[in-house]
């Protein structure tokens, strides 16, 4: 038996080295020592020790002789790699080169360095930003009547437009030197969350000029003249921008726009100048109907070679003032009863001079790169913030309503079925608010988070839609009947808008999250690809060899880590956190290793075909996304001082995330086209089977209870949403009533019991109260409390009704309001 000890020692040391990811030379030295030591100490036969050593040396020596390794191993592999690796299209190249890699790279490494996350400073608002939130934003919220906006005006009322412009809501991303507010991404996000909590329409209206559009593009690429002219005017709302990319033939596939501009001479302000003659048909353009300046994407052609030798210059961006001759603008689309300004923009042979190209003539043809480089910052903020604001207010409103609304003699929030919905609302809200905060913080650190912004866009809006569904279900008929009293219906109606815009969700999940993440965040894939592009063969081979052998070590380590952490159900290994959260970090270590292993294997086995295996790619993206979301939740918990009261929320959302990771990996393995590879991966990732379970009912009950009672966790979950109990804010008023409702509950129980035991004769509530009081079962103070609460709660369980003519838009205006384009 002892003759096997050297071999056993070699295997154990190799596994330990792979798990710890030690360098090749260290592994070689440690293994050599282990073989000899085991042979001597266990008194193995010299032949057994020698054979083990020889086999080990045959592997280790060539790997450690760098020149030999490069010539004999890396060179042929480089030739194969160059043959089988698909060429990236220019569009894909631009997408990959835009953006930076932050903590998500650690998750992809299979062995996250948690210090990198935990050392990041806590994102906080500056004094100016806080003052803006508590001043103009609060004031604006007070002015908003969402029913008036969505039903009566189908627009913001003029005083709201004025207030927005005067207080520079459209200039949050514009630097102070140009008259803007120059807010941090965090402040920008918190402002949008608060606005979205009172009106989706206002939230969207403010989000758009602060997202990807003329201001952002001018800041990065504008000429001095363009910046000096437009930025101050955009900051104070003298100019209202829109950005027009999408058209009938180019939606998700935006690079295929058929809109074109031909370089020619033409008239501009009375002079004959060089410019482009544009023909375009755009639709779905937010703010277009009222825009004073249109950012336009088109393909630029120079058939007469007036600018140089190139005829097809590529996608180019221009600014068209509203009064440009031939520009058709002003009609409106109606996006799902959320009437922010949105409509088509068209033009035929519209002439603008080259000075109207964003960045001037030098930037002709650079449009796609400009858009992709700027996309991630806006995408990380606008839609995730709007979804988070709606989710936060949805949690508060539904928790309060579930406590106020009684059926079968009980608050509906106490029924297990409702509790289940409340737990999802609370847990998902906790998750997406952490996600929004993490991506805003990444932008504030100067990152261009292309992968996290896709994660945030997809998951905040998808979970937001789930929350909106549960909010509706818990409200029953109260959610369905529209009117000034309904605070849930519009968010539900509008949920699909957020799903569709800024990269429709199916595409974002299927192609972008993992597609970009795999190459951008992987520690070696991009390096390998870049190595193959080097012109000098020696340099190419050297760089490829380094990346390749790093990659091989990385893959072996991930296989070992997946197996060991799977076998121990992630109960071992160093991890940060406290007694409560350490196990959470360990779980993430396990799934990070499993993701890295599966991703590598998928890329190796499926190669270029992986791009078209969208279902595999989407599930791998789900694992990456949930790793990112769970890390964001842990970071938030740490930043907030590890509040014990928040633990049920954190635990619910965390277990849900981990369960999703497991199911996504299981989906990959079940459907992986090469079955023996899938079996091997399953053995490494799930050696004891799938053991993660969704959050328990008990945990869900604790989350639901948090939503239905005033407490600090609930306040943290609400964040800065608009909860002032004003006439225009039913949720604020209902929330303010919650303490009284809770105080009345024991009295109500006493009263209901007395009604039965005293055989009360009155049929009506007030009569019954009087009888019960007269019998001494409740005091006069208690009776007053019950009366007060009943009167106050009636308002919140009531719905609206209308004169039929109030609902007939066509009759009211004497015509059909919205005519479809024939
Ligand atoms: C209210 C609203 C406001 C908007 N504002 C603007 C604006 O201001 N400026 C602007 O330029 N655009 C704007 N858009 C356009 C928006 O960005 C596009 O709607 C979006 O890009 C999707 O295009 P599409 O609607 O034509 O869908 P399509 O491209 O037709 O897609 C339909 C479905 O197919 C899926 N799909 C497409 N390709 C793939 C693929 N390869 N893999 C998997 N799934 C795929 C999509 O995810 C989607 O689910 C707005 C749209 C709306 C609805």
At 764-793, the pLDDT tens digits run 999 999 999 999 999 999 999 999 999 999
> 250 CB less than 6 Å from ligand 1?
no
Distance CA 350, CA 322 (A): 12
Residue with the larger pLDDT of the pair 350 and 82: 350
Q: Furthest-apart CA pair in the chain: how many Å? A: 103
Give the Å distances, CA to CA, from 263 to 241, 266, 307, 448.
Answer: 25, 10, 8, 33
Residue 818 pLDDT grade (very low, low, confident, very high; cuts 50, 70, 90): very low
Inter-axis angle of helices 416-444 and 647-671, to 10 degrees? Answer: 90
Report CA(76)–ligand 1 centroid distance (Å).
44
Q: What percent of the chain has pLDDT over 70?
A: 98
Buried residues in 403-418 as b, exposed as e (16+ CB within 10 A): bbbbeeeebbbbbeeb
Report pLDDT for 611. Answer: 84
Instruction: Take atom 44 of ligand 1 and give the residue whose Cα is closest.
Output: 507
> 499 CB less than 6 Å from ligand 1?
no
Catalytic residue numbers, as ranges:
502
Report pLDDT for 777. Answer: 94
Report pLDDT for 817. Answer: 47
- Which atom of ligand 1 lies at the shortest distance from residue 253's CA? 29
> 371 CB less than 6 Å from ligand 1?
no
Report CA(553)–ligand 1 centroid distance (Å).
41
- Which atom of ligand 1 lies at the shortest distance from residue 502's CA? 17
Instruction: Take atom 39 of ligand 1 and give the residue whose Cα is closest.
Output: 507
Report CA(505)–ligand 1 centroid distance (Å).
9
Q: Which residues contact 760 (CB under 8 A, 6 or more apart)?
A: 754, 768, 771, 772
Report CA(511)–ligand 1 centroid distance (Å).
14
- The mean per-residue pLDDT over the stretch 317-323 comes to 97
Q: 1-10, 136-145, 197-206, 685-694: which range is least confident on average?
A: 1-10
- Which atom of ligand 1 lies at the shortest distance from residue 504's CA? 47
Rounded to 10 degrees, the C-alpha dihedral 97/100/101/104 comes to -110
> 291 CB less than 6 Å from ligand 1?
no
Give the Å distances, CA to CA, from 472 to 464, 490, 493, 635.
Answer: 12, 10, 10, 31
Instruction: Take atom 42 of ligand 1 and give the residue whose Cα is closest.
Output: 507
Residue 821 pLDDT grade (very low, low, confident, very high; cuts 50, 70, 90): very low
87: pLDDT strictly greater than 80: no
Q: Which residues contact 806 (CB under 8 A, 6 or more apart)?
A: 812
Do residues 313 and 365 make contact, with C-beta atoms less than 8 angstroms apart?
yes
Report pLDDT for 811. Answer: 63
Rounded to 10 degrees, the C-alpha dihedral 130/134/135/137 comes to 100
432: pLDDT strictly greater than 80: yes
Which is it for strands 293-301 and 241-244: parallel, antiparallel or unpaired? parallel
Report CA(454)–ligand 1 centroid distance (Å).
14
Distance CA 514, CA 716 (A): 32
């Amino acid at each position: 038996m002892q003759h096997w000890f050297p071999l056993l020692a070699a295997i154990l040391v190799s596994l330990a080295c792979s798990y710890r990811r030690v360098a090749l030379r260290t592994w070689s030295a440690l293994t050599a020592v282990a073989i000899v030591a085991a042979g001597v100490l266990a008194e193995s036969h010299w032949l057994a020790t020698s054979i083990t050593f020889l086999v080990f040396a045959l592997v280790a020596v060539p790997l450690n002789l760098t020149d030999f390794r490069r010539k004999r191993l890396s060179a042929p592999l480089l030739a194969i790699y160059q043959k089988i690796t698909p060429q990236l299209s220019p569009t894909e190249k631009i997408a990959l080169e835009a953006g930076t890699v932050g903590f998500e790279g650690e998750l992809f490494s299979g062995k996250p360095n948690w210090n990198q996350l935990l050392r990041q400073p806590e994102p906080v608002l500056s004094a100016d930003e806080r003052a803006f939130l508590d001043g103009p934003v609060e004031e604006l919220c007070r002015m908003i009547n969402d029913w008036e906006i969505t039903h009566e005006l189908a627009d913001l009322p003029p005083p709201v437009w004025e207030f927005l412009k005067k207080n520079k809501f459209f200039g949050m991303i514009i630097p102070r030197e140009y008259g803007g507010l120059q807010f941090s991404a965090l402040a920008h996000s918190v402002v949008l969350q608060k606005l979205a909590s009172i009106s989706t329409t206002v939230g969207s209206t403010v989000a758009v000029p602060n997202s990807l559009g003329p201001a952002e593009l001018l800041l990065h690429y504008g000429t001095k003249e363009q910046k000096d002219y437009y930025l101050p005017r955009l900051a104070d709302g003298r100019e209202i921008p829109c950005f027009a990319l999408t058209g009938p033939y180019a939606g998700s596939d935006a690079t295929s726009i058929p809109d074109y501009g031909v370089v020619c001479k033409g008239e501009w302000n009375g002079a004959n100048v060089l410019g482009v003659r544009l023909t375009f048909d755009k639709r779905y353009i937010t703010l277009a109907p009222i825009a004073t300046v249109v950012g336009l994407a088109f393909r630029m052609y120079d058939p007469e070679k007036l600018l140089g030798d190139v005829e097809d210059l590529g996608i180019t961006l221009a600014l068209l003032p509203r009064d440009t001759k031939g520009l058709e603008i002003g009609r409106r689309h109606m996006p799902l009863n959320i009437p922010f300004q949105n409509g088509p923009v068209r033009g035929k042979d519209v002439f603008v001079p080259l000075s109207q190209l964003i960045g001037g003539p030098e930037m002709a043809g650079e449009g796609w790169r400009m858009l992709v480089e700027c996309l991630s910052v806006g995408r990380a903020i606008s839609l995730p913030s709007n979804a988070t604001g709606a989710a936060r207010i949805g949690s508060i409103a539904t928790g309060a309503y579930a406590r106020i609304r009684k059926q079968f003699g009980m608050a509906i929030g106490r029924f297990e079925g409702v509790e289940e919905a409340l737990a999802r609302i609370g847990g998902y809200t906790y998750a997406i608010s952490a996600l929004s905060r993490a991506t805003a913080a990444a932008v504030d650190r100067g990152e261009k988070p292309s992968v996290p912004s896709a994660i945030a866009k997809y998951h905040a809006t998808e979970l937001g839609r789930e929350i909106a569904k549960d909010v509706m279900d818990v409200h029953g008929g109260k959610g369905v009947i529209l009117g000034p009293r309904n605070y849930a219906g519009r968010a539900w109606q509008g949920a699909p808008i957020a799903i569709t815009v800024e990269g429709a969700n199916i595409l974002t999940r299927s192609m972008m999250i993992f597609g970009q993440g795999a190459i951008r965040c992987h520690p070696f894939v991009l390096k390998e690809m870049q190595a193959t592009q080097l012109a000098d063969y020696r340099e190419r081979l050297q760089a490829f060899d380094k990346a390749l052998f790093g990659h091989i070590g990385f893959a072996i380590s991930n296989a070992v880590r997946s197996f060991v952490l799977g076998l121990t159900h992630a109960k071992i290994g160093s991890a940060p956190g406290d007694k409560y959260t350490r196990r959470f970090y360990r779980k993430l270590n396990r799934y990070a290793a499993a993701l890295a292993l599966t991703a590598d294997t998928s890329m190796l086995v499926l190669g270029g075909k992986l791009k078209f295996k969208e279902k595999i790619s989407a599930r791998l993206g789900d694992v990456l996304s949930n790793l990112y979301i769970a890390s964001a939740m842990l970071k938030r918990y740490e930043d907030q001082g590890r509040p014990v009261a928040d633990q049920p929320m954190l635990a619910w959302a965390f277990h849900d995330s981990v369960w999703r990771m497991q199911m996504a990996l299981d989906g990959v393995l079940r459907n992986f086209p090469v079955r023996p590879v899938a079996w091997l991966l399953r053995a490494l990732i799930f050696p004891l089977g799938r053991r993660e379970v969704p959050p328990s009912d008990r945990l869900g009950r604790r989350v639901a209870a948090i939503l239905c009672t005033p407490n600090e966790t609930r306040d943290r979950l609400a964040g800065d949403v608009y909860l002032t109990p004003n006439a225009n804010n039913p949720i604020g008023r209902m929330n303010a009533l919650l303490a009284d409702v809770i105080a009345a509950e024991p009295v109500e129980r006493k009263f209901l019991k007395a009604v039965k035991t005293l055989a009360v004769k009155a049929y009506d509530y007030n009569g019954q109260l009087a009888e019960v009081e007269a019998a001494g079962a409740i005091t006069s103070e208690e009776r007053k409390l019950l009366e007060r609460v009943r009167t106050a709660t009636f308002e919140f369980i009531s719905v609206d009704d209308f004169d039929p003519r109030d609902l007939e838009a066509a009759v009211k205006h004497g015509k059909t309001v919205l005519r479809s384009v024939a």
